[in-house]
Amino acid sequence: MKKILLGLVLLIFVLSACVSPTPTEPPAKPTKAPKAEVVEEVKEEGAFRKAQNGRPFRFAQFMQQHPVMKLMSEGFLQACEDFDVLCVIEGFDGDDDSLVVSSLERMTAEDTSGATIGLWYPARFEAAKIAIEQGVPVVGVHAPIDRENVPTLLAWSAPDVAGFSGAAGKALAEKVACQGPIAVSQTDLNEMQNEVQAVFREKLLEECPDIEILEMAVMGLDLPVSISLAVGVFQAHPDITGAFSSDGNGGIYWSEGAREAGLDPNDVAIIGMDYTRPNLDLVASGDVWMLVGQPLYEENYFAVALLVSNLMGLPIPYENHMPAPLITLENIDQFYAINDAAEARGE
Amino acid sequence: MSIWTKIVQRREFAIIAVLIVLVTTFSLINPAFLRPNNIFAILRGGAFIGVMAVGVAWILLSGTFDLSTGSTAGMAAIITSTLIVKMGVPIIPSIVAGLLSGTLVGIANYNLVFKANIPAFLATIGTMFIAKGLGLYISKGWEVYPLPEVVGIFGRAQPLGVSWHFWIFVALIIISQLLLSLTVWGLEVKATGSNREIARLTEVNINKVSISVYIICGTLSALAGILLMARLITGNATTGTGWELQVITAVAIGGVSLFGYDGSFIGVFLGILAIQVIQNGLVVIGLSPYLNTIVVGTILLFIAMIDWRRRASLNFERNV
């Protein structure tokens, strides 16, 4: 029995060591790293690291295996490299509020000179307060946060949700020339995606008052099921002209769903979300018309810049909107570069 | 006993009755539900968890439990895709390695449950975390992408309108049903699930039965992950996340007892089909997403209640 167990453990470790990929090329610099003018006035080499006094910045990275979170990590790590500061990623699996709370409690128990965390659920506000009360400066990323919700929050850096949702609505209105119906979908009914969809719908109806927008389809995270549901939507409405999803899998399930329903994905104007490599490839192949490029990399890069500024006693703005460009074939290359860099780092 | 009573007492009665009602209702509300492409999509969508469900059904019939299936699927997908994409290993050996990783998880589970005497629930939660962790460690959280085009050709193929995954699922259902109904080993699995001690006293090799069902379950879980990898042309450590409960739900509403012995693989097929029909149908008829999950839960409870009444009436007749 012991031999069998020992053999199993050894085999599993040998197997994992064998297949663990080792990056061989240095990371390529993203072409569009945001400027951090707020810290440029400090020229002394090593000044930021010295000010940290051995206390790193930390990124509370829930859902650590999620491709979107990996791009956020890359922004954090690249900024740490560029500003020459100590940084640690506090990664954990899952998206549970209790895990976020314990992660922030762990941060406060250790030496920390600043933290960044995605605060797109109101339940996370209380978690952030735990760290702040213990003297850890926290920058929220990915969602704007009203001052009154977390009064002691240092700052936030996030996309202009209303801006990109409205821009997507306007772009789709032009693309389909106000001819519907339009399918809409989200992963689940969370606050941020609800807002994205509400603004998108409002803008689309403003541009095209008579256009038919279908009932929201909640697709979940299981892709085979999402694709099957997309096929169902296309079967029920074979004349769909466009589809908009506020989640990162939308490009995949709408294009695959169209294909499986016997349609050509190129005939449907599909707008997906997030510049992960599989999504970019769908744009490159023409299966997806457009992606909303949420600033996954940029917002965390800028959050580190804000923490550095704070560390040096410089004033920092509370609200920091990052641009969320609409990605088509014309501007796709720079987003591939971000993926290249993140994959090369292999973190 | 009347014919009606015989029909009602069939273990698949509840699920078939509810399926008929659901299909009729959905197609009346929106005839598009019955369009061939939609039916094929329903069948394709359930094939992945279906393959896993076959393994889980064997485990449940033998009176034990496995919660590591979803993570095993993810780990196998990552191992296979990493070998192909990052290490240049040919496709077939990579798939064999992926399947073997699932077999190893099955053997580990057996040893933990029946040799180290850790309750199956706890032991397989442990291996669930280890398998998931290995997938993450190997992939560093990144999707392994893109796989060679030939993998995509297999994954996207639609033989007879459905997919290879579906036909593999159907083949597994038929083979398993035959094994359960016609072989001594099938009887031994049920006997072990009914009462391990009595099975041992009647000279059933309960250890052999238990290790074989764990190996089947681990390997089929890995196969499910590899099939999804082929479909999406991507290896992803998140593959299989949450499948454990979906699979157990489908198997249970298909009439397989969570306490061993009772069940059929035809029921497993119907259970998977029911889950897919409910999910797809509610979207096709355009039900508000705010009501969707309430309706899903209510239908599942309804199926469980009918089945529970069937079992109760059978026990009553046996006792009389």
Q: Using CB atoms within 10 A of its CB, is residue B7 exposed (0-12), middle (13-18) or buried (19+)? A: exposed
User: What angle (nearest 5°) sits at the alpha carbon of residue A68, between those of residues A298 and B71?
Assistant: 155
Q: Is B149 on the interface with A (CB under 8 A)?
A: no
Q: What CA–CA distance (Å, rounded) separates A282 from A250?
A: 11
Which tokens hold the place of A123?
A: 């339940």
Q: Are residues A156 and A38 in the same domain?
A: yes
Q: Are residues A101 and A166 in the same domain?
A: no
Q: Are residues A222 and A314 in the same domain?
A: no
Q: Is B109 on the interface with A (CB under 8 A)?
A: no
Q: Do B79 and A276 touch (CB under 8 A)?
A: no
Q: How many domains does chain A have?
A: 2
Whether residue A109 is contained in a domain is answered as yes
Report the gap between the CA of B138 and the closest CA in chain A (Å).
5
Residue-number span of the structural domain to which A72 is assigned = 27-160+295-323
Read off the amino acid at residue A175: K
* Phi-psi region at A36: left, alpha or beta (left = phi > 0; alpha = psi -120 to 50): beta
Which tokens hold the place of B142?
A: 């990144």
Nearest by CB: A20 against B138, B234, B280: B138
Q: Chain B residue with minimal CA distance to A11?
A: B104
- As separate numbers, helices (DSSP H) first and strands (DSSP E) second, chain B gives 14, 0
Q: Chain A residue with minimal CA distance to B162?
A: A260
Residues of B with CB below 8 A from A21's CB?
82, 86-87, 138, 140
What is the average per-residue pLDDT within B103-115? Answer: 96
Q: Chain A residue with minimal CA distance to B97?
A: A15
Nearest by CB: B280 against A214, A229, A346: A229
Q: What CA–CA distance (Å, rounded) separates A236 from B263?
A: 36
* Look-up of token digits 């089947």: B216
Q: Are residues A152 and A185 in the same domain?
A: no
User: What angle (nearest 5°) sits at the alpha carbon of residue B8, between those of residues B7 and B14?
Assistant: 115
DSSP result, B29-57: H-GGGGSHHHHHHHHHHHHHHHHHHHHHH
Residues of A with CB below 8 A from B134's CB?
12, 16
Q: Are residues A193 and A313 in the same domain?
A: no
Q: Which residues contact B2 (CB under 8 A, 6 or more apart)?
A: none
Query: Which neighbouring-strand residues pair with A216?
Result: none
Q: What CA–CA distance (Å, rounded) separates A225 from A248?
A: 15
pLDDT (0 to 100) of residue A334: 87
Residues of A with CB below 8 A from B104's CB?
8, 11-12
DSSP result, A239-302: T--EEEESSTTHHHHHHHHHHHTT--GGGSEEEEE---HHHHHHHHHTSS-EEE---HHHHHHH
> Rounded to a whole number, what is the distance in angstroms from the first to the last CA of chain A?
37
Read off the amino acid at residue B131: A
Q: Chain B residue with minimal CA distance to A73?
A: B141
Residues of A with CB below 8 A from B231's CB?
224
Helices in chain A by DSSP H: which ranges? 2-19, 47-52, 67-83, 97-109, 123-133, 161-175, 191-207, 223-236, 250-260, 277-285, 296-311, 333-345
Q: Do B79 and A69 touch (CB under 8 A)?
A: no
Q: What CA–CA distance (Å, rounded) separates A113 from A136?
A: 6
DSSP state of A335: H
pLDDT (0 to 100) of residue A6: 43
Q: Which of A65, A214, A229, A237 to mutate to test the interface with B (most CBs of B within 10 A)?
A: A65
Backbone dihedral angles phi then psi of residue A210, each to the nearest 5 degrees: -100, 0
Q: Are residues A207 and A166 in the same domain?
A: yes
Nearest by CB: B111 against A4, A231, A281: A4
Q: Chain A residue with minimal CA distance to B131?
A: A12
Q: Is A123 on the interface with B (CB under 8 A)?
A: no
Q: Do B38 and A70 touch (CB under 8 A)?
A: no
Q: Is B145 on the interface with A (CB under 8 A)?
A: yes
Q: Chain B residue with minimal CA distance to A13?
A: B134
pLDDT (0 to 100) of residue A44: 64
Q: What CA–CA distance (Å, rounded) separates B11 from B307?
A: 7
Q: What CA–CA distance (Å, rounded) separates A223 from B242?
A: 12
User: What angle (nearest 5°) sits at the alpha carbon of residue A196, between those of residues A191 and A201?
Assistant: 125
Whether residue A110 is contained in a domain is answered as yes
Sheet holding A182-186, edge to edge: A217-218, A182-186, A242-245, A269-273, A290-292, A326-327
Whether residue A80 is contained in a domain is answered as yes
What is the average per-residue pLDDT within B56-67? Answer: 94
pLDDT (0 to 100) of residue A19: 39
Q: Are residues A61 and A111 in the same domain?
A: yes
Q: Are residues A123 and A195 in the same domain?
A: no
Counting one residue from chain A and one from chain B, the pairs whose CB atoms sit within 8 A come to 157
Whether residue A39 is contained in a domain is answered as yes
Q: What CA–CA distance (Å, rounded) separates A149 from A226?
A: 34
Question: Is pLDDT at B320 greater than 70 in this prediction?
Answer: no
Q: Is B132 on the interface with A (CB under 8 A)?
A: yes
Q: Do B146 and A236 touch (CB under 8 A)?
A: no
The pTM assigned to this predicted structure is 0.76
Domains contained in chain B, CATH given: 3-319 (1.10.3470)
Nearest to B128, CA basis, from B235, B245, B265, B267 = B245
Q: Are residues A288 and A307 in the same domain?
A: no
User: pLDDT, tens digit, for every residue of B200-245?
Assistant: 888 889 999 999 999 999 999 999 999 999 988 888 877 888 888 8
Residues of A with CB below 8 A from B32's CB?
232, 235-238
Stretches in chain A below the pLDDT threshold 50: 1, 3-36, 38
Q: Chain A residue with minimal CA distance to B94?
A: A19
Whether residue A93 is contained in a domain is answered as yes
pLDDT (0 to 100) of residue A52: 87
Q: What CA–CA distance (Å, rounded) separates B295 from B301?
A: 10
User: pLDDT, tens digit, for every residue of A49-85?
Assistant: 888 888 899 888 877 767 788 888 889 999 998 889 9
Which tokens hold the place of A284?
A: 């490159």
Whether residue A56 is contained in a domain is answered as yes
Which tokens hold the place of A346?
A: 């292999």
Q: Chain B residue with minimal CA distance to A345?
A: B140
Q: Do A228 and B44 touch (CB under 8 A)?
A: yes
Domain CATH code at residue A103? 3.40.50.2300
pLDDT (0 to 100) of residue A200: 94
> Is the CB of residue A280 less than 8 Å from the CB of residue A252?
no
Question: Is pLDDT at B192 greater than 90 in this prediction?
Answer: yes
Q: Chain B residue with minimal CA distance to A69?
A: B141
Write the CA distances from B72 to B113, B141, B285, integer angstroms: 17, 16, 35
Q: Is A277 on the interface with B (CB under 8 A)?
A: yes
Q: What CA–CA distance (Å, rounded) separates B284 from B292?
A: 12
3-state secondary structure of A88: strand
Question: Is pLDDT at B110 greater than 90 in this prediction?
Answer: yes
> Is the CB of residue A270 less than 8 Å from the CB of residue A256?
no
pLDDT (0 to 100) of residue A95: 66
Of A253, A273, A292, the one marking the end of a domain is A292
User: pLDDT, tens digit, for every residue of B71-98?
Assistant: 999 999 999 999 999 999 999 999 999 9
Residues of A with CB below 8 A from B222's CB?
none
Whether residue A223 is contained in a domain is answered as yes
- Rounded to the nearest integer, the mean pLDDT of chain B is 89
Q: Which of residues 40-59 of B touch A (CB under 8 A)?
A: 40-42, 44-49
Q: Which of B28, B38, B132, B166 to mutate to test the interface with A (most CBs of A within 10 A)?
A: B38
**ipTM beyond cut 0.85:** no
Q: Do A236 and B40 touch (CB under 8 A)?
A: no
Q: Are residues A123 and A135 in the same domain?
A: yes
User: pLDDT, tens digit, for every residue of B235-289?
Assistant: 887 788 888 888 998 998 888 888 888 899 999 999 999 988 988 888 888 787 7
* Look-up of token digits 């399918």: A183
CB atoms within 10 A of CB A5: 15
| pLDDT: which is higher, B178 or A323 | B178
Q: Do A65 and B97 touch (CB under 8 A)?
A: no
Q: Are residues A69 and A138 in the same domain?
A: yes
Q: Are residues A35 and A140 in the same domain?
A: yes
Q: Which of residues 178-217 of B touch A (CB under 8 A)?
A: none
Whether residue A10 is contained in a domain is answered as no
pLDDT (0 to 100) of residue A47: 84
